[in-house]
């Protein structure tokens, strides 16, 4: 039974979030959101993790969501606080992650007046609405349950995504008689359409070499996708967000480097919860095939919960449904097709050949091989926009769903370290690794203080090549070596770590990384491992991403 209570708007917002399962709020307090933070203070069942910059809080919530599949929540001041958090919101939107942003507003009487009230944006709600799935303001606190439940419905229904809820300063501070009811219990998804499954089954029956491409939308359908692959003799691949749906140490799971070797012979591609960026924007050129695959190429079945996807990129057969439901229906309809034993040999050969080929990407592959050896199977690997991160897209085998955390198409440099803090906060019993370049690390470096203060034991490996290495290589190759903004003078990362009370290691080779990483994982404390890399010495990983 819910009860009538006298509470502030901020407390109402928190209670409604709690009714929807929120147990952790990442955030940074300020005047308009004091009542919300006061409610958090008075809620022993809510874990408050305070960041040193709003981008950090939002990335942590993103990491929490990426690691668990559940909504992650953060609270920041409006205006500049929201804009500081906005790159993380774009990333959550790109990667379809349910992230709840709770924020304030100017005093209600000043809304839209343009008087320059503290933290005022011309139209914060419209600004947020343009980057998140659903943005709303609670003006009448009596409606808090309904509006918050709608936000949770939006976050998790159909294509998931981030939402924002704001409340004016005075509304949040005032006491109201308000009833907070139970949380949202509705997650909408389209029902599987039998005709679409029949059409897909027909294409499958006529196909010889089938490839399944998983995106982030398939992360909850791991067992089903694996069963379908086993029945059809299909390889299962992914680029970033779909990594780990089918383990890459099974015969069916193949890296994108191995998948490319199978691609020319593929006559049917089944995309599951994926935009198919790899096949049609990376392998077939970034410049063509905007809305249709090339003529004469593989036939295409797309399974996607978002009907708009089928207009953006048209398949031969569109199955608009949840990945798990549709894959299960396909197993029942098309699973009897079977396959030739030679199909498995073909996949195994491609995997072996790709594994050998990619060893030319050095020193990145040597480091990744050590990391894979030391990191437990269920440990999290948070990639970044750096030479080792790009290489990991094809060179680091992933074994379990959700354990490869990525920024997707946003390519948000610097997201990785604060995101990994959120991953570890959500999954304290698992090993969590952030691998990052020296350039990217400095974006979120202040959050080292948050990791230390909250004793969040993630391990960060900084690959220090004293440059924005990717930019440097591009300028060398495409702009006559006119280096601008490419070379970086860095702090001493080991001393930096120690100054935050965090363990620091410095290593010079993959062999030296192994004992340092093993020790850091055993210790389960925040740690920085700096890997020294000679500037400009890495092999470009791009030939295995753009074909």
Ligand X SMILES: Cc1ncc(C[n+]2csc(CCOP(=O)(O)OP(=O)(O)O)c2C)c(N)n1
Give the footprint of ligand X on this chain (CB under 6 A).
Answer: 385-387, 411-413, 437-440, 463, 465, 467-471
Q: Provide the minimum distance between the beta carbon of 319 and ligand X in the complex, in angstroms, as a whole number.
A: 33
Q: Provide the minimum distance between the beta carbon of 454 and ligand X in the complex, in angstroms, as a whole number.
A: 25
Q: Provide the minimum distance between the beta carbon of 281 and ligand X in the complex, in angstroms, as a whole number.
A: 16
Q: Provide the minimum distance between the beta carbon of 369 and ligand X in the complex, in angstroms, as a whole number.
A: 18
Q: Which is nearer to ligand X, 43 or 540 (CB)?
A: 540
Enumerate residues 6+ apart whose C-beta is below 8 A from 469.
386, 387, 437, 439, 535, 536, 538
Q: Which is nearer to ligand X, 37 or 544 (CB)?
A: 544
30, 162 in Cβ contact below 8 A?
no
Q: Provide the minimum distance between the beta carbon of 21 and ligand X in the complex, in angstroms, as a whole number.
A: 31
Q: Which residue is nearest to ligand X (CB)?
A: 437
Q: Which is nearer to ligand X, 247 or 470 (CB)?
A: 470
- The stretches of 69-193 forming alpha helices (DSSP H) are 80-94, 124-129, 144-156, 169-173
3-class secondary structure per residue, 336-404? HHCCCHHHHHHHHHHHHHHHHHHHHCCCHHHHHHHHHHHCCCCCEEECCCCHHHHHHHHHCCCCCCCCE
Q: Provide the minimum distance between the beta carbon of 438 and ligand X in the complex, in angstroms, as a whole number.
A: 5
Number of CB atoms found within 10 A of residue 263's CB: 22
Q: Which residues pair with 178 in a beta bridge?
A: 5
Q: Look at strands 432-437 and 459-464 and give their pairing.
A: parallel
Any idea what DSSP says for residue 114? Answer: -
Q: Provide the minimum distance between the beta carbon of 383 and ligand X in the complex, in angstroms, as a whole number.
A: 11
Q: Which is nearer to ligand X, 238 or 412 (CB)?
A: 412
151, 136 in Cβ contact below 8 A?
yes
> How far is the C-alpha of 35 from the C-alpha of 167, rounded, in Å?
11
* CA distances to 96, 148, 263 from 62, in Å: 10, 19, 33
Q: Provide the minimum distance between the beta carbon of 498 and ligand X in the complex, in angstroms, as a whole number.
A: 22
> How far is the C-alpha of 271 from the C-alpha of 275, rounded, in Å?
8
* CA distances to 16, 224, 377 from 403, in Å: 30, 18, 9
Enumerate residues 6+ apart whose C-beta is below 8 A from 173.
8, 9, 10, 34, 35
Residue 101's φ and ψ, nearest 5 degrees, are -105, 120
Q: Which is nearer to ligand X, 43 or 475 (CB)?
A: 475
Minimal CA–CA distance to 460: which of 499, 501, 489, 502?
502
> How far is the C-alpha of 229 from the C-alpha of 211, rounded, in Å?
9
Q: Provide the minimum distance between the beta carbon of 251 and ligand X in the complex, in angstroms, as a whole number.
A: 32
* CA distances to 119, 121, 128 from 115, in Å: 11, 10, 20
Q: Provide the minimum distance between the beta carbon of 87 and ligand X in the complex, in angstroms, as a whole number.
A: 6
């Amino acid at each position: 039974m819910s009860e009538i209570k006298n509470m502030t708007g901020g407390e109402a917002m928190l209670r409604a979030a709690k009714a929807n399962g929120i147990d952790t709020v990442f955030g940074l307090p300020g005047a308009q959101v004091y009542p919300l933070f006061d409610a958090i203070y008075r809620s022993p069942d809510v874990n408050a993790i305070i960041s040193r910059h709003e981008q950090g809080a939002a990335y942590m919530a993103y990491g929490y969501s990426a690691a668990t599949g559940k909504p992650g929540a953060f609270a920041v001041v409006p205006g500049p606080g929201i804009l500081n958090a906005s790159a993380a919101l774009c990333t959550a939107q790109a990667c379809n992650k349910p992230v709840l942003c709770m924020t304030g507003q100017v005093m209600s009487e000043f809304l839209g007046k343009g008087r320059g009230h503290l933290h005022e944006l011309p139209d914060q709600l419209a600004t947020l609405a343009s980057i998140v799935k659903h943005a709303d303001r609670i003006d009448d606190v009596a409606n808090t349950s309904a509006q918050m439940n709608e936000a949770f419905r939006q976050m998790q229904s159909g294509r998931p995504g981030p939402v924002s809820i704001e409340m004016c300063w005075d509304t949040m501070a005032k006491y109201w008689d308000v009833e907070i009811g139970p949380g949202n219990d509705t997650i909408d998804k389209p029902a599987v359409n039998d005709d679409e499954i029949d059409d897909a089954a027909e294409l499958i029956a006529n196909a010889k070499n089938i490839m399944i491409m998983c995106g982030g939308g398939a992360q909850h359908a791991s067992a089903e996708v694996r069963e379908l692959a086993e029945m059809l003799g299909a390889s299962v691949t992914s680029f970033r967000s779909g990594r780990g749906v089918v383990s890459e140490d099974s015969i069916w799971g193949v890296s994108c480097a191995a998948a490319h070797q199978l691609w020319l012979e593929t006559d049917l591609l089944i995309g599951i919860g994926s935009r198919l960026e790899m096949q049609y924007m990376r392998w077939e050129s970034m410049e063509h095939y905007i809305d249709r695959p090339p003529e004469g190429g593989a036939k295409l079945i797309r399974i996607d919960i978002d009907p708009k996807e089928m207009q953006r990129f048209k398949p031969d057969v569109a199955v608009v449904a949840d990945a798990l439901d549709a894959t299960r229906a396909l197993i029942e309809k098309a699973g009897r097709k079977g396959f030739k034993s030679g199909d498995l040999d073909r996949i195994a050969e491609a995997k072996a050949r790709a594994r050998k080929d990619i060893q030319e990407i050095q020193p990145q592959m040597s480091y990744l091989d050590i990391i894979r050896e030391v990191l437990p199977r269920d440990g999290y690997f948070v990639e970044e926009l750096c030479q080792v991160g790009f290489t990991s897209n094809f060179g680091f085998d992933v074994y379990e769903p959700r354990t490869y955390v990525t920024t997707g198409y946003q390519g948000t440099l610097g997201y990785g370290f604060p995101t990994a803090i959120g991953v570890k906060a959500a999954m304290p019993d698992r090993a969590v690794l952030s691998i990052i370049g020296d350039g990217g690390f400095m974006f979120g470096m202040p959050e080292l203080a948050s990791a230390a203060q909250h004793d969040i034991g993630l391990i960060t490996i900084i690959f220090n090549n004293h440059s924005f290495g990717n930019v440097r290589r591009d300028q060398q190759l495409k702009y006559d070596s006119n280096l601008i903004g490419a070379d970086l003078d860095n702090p001493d990362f080991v001393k930096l770590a120690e100054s935050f009370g965090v363990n620091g290691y410095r290593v010079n080779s993959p062999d030296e990384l192994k004992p340092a990483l093993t020790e850091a994982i055993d210790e389960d404390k925040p740690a920085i491992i700096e890997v020294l890399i000679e500037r400009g010495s890495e092999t470009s990983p791009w030939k295995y991403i753009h074909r």
